[in-house]
Amino acid sequence: MSDSSSIEWCDTTWNPTTGCDRISAGCDNCYALVMARRLKAMGQAKYQTDGDPRTSGPGFGLAVHEDTLNDPFTWRKPRKVFVNSMSDLFHARVPLDFVRRVFEVIEATPQHTYQVLTKRASRLPKVADKLPWPSNLWMGVSTEDQEQADLRIPPLLATPAKVKFASAEPLIGEVILHDDWIGLDPYRRGEPSLNWVIVGGESGPKARPMSPDWARHLRDQCVSAGVPYFFKQWGSWAPSGWHGIGRPLPGSFFVGDEVDAAGHRVEMVRTSKHEAGRELDGRTWDQFPDTKTLEVASRG
């Protein structure tokens, strides 16, 4: 049974598979791994498969759930659906036939919008021509730092997805979007580019601070290129409004580039996700792709 979601950029989560394995630094403090352990202890049937303790954990072993495939047909009102908030649909152990069936359900329920997010971008070009790519499917990759952005965005852009997006959450290092990724390279105009960028800081007891400069630079690039920008959260660290030098006080952290000749840097303080809020430079950024415009553009 799918539930309403507290994730700011979707209405509902749908998990036809559960479980995963950590593969990059963005996975270090995986919320889904912790949640799976709790759900296993509560006796939840979908979370009784254990994963490799080196990369996964209790209740977080990869499992396929055939009985969830009909869930979207029961939803009366149109929804934005995050597919696999507790897994990765393109995990190597998810059979291609099952991925195809998920895509077929998406195609058969055009009233909903589906957001698929993967860290396994290298699998995309291997299977893209074996899958349907309905217009209500938004395909995204996680880009927590520049290394992963460089590895994951090019395979994403090579897919036939109508909407392609990058999720820089948790943003643990600066990411600069290449001009050809956002349609600014004059030699590659008209080629596939990103249609949406999500940015968010990490939350939880082991969260790493996100520099406000990283979020601002991505916002400025998106505004310049006309790419919708969604600022999801600060997470468990937020800017205090002060700048510091030397050693930070207990409970604070200095991040970002030096802001003056003396070397003052932005002070980040520990807080709750709720108290930190979602404002960047005094406003929220809740932009989404305009799918009608994209549909017209794709038809020429």
pLDDT at 82: 98
Rounded Cα distance between 124 and 178, Å, is 20
Pick the most confident of 108-117, 232-241, 266-275. 108-117
Compute the mean pLDDT over every residue in the chain, rounded to the nearest whole number.
Answer: 93
State residue 258's pLDDT score: 62
The pLDDT, as a whole number, for residue 190 is 80
30-69 pLDDT, tens per residue? Answer: 999 999 999 999 999 999 999 999 999 999 999 999 999 9
Q: What is the pLDDT of residue 255?
A: 80
Give the pLDDT confidence of 155-171 residue by residue, as tens digits.
Answer: 999 999 999 999 999 99
Contact 14, 72 (CB under 8 A): yes
pTM summary value:
0.93
pLDDT score recorded for residue 243: 77
State residue 3's pLDDT score. Answer: 60
Q: Where are the beta strands (DSSP E) in the chain?
A: 12-14, 17-18, 63-64, 80-83, 113-118, 137-142, 163-168, 196-200, 229-233, 237-244, 252-255, 265-270
Q: Are 55 and 148 in contact (CB under 8 A)?
A: no
pLDDT band at 300 (very low <50, low <70, confident <90, very high): very low
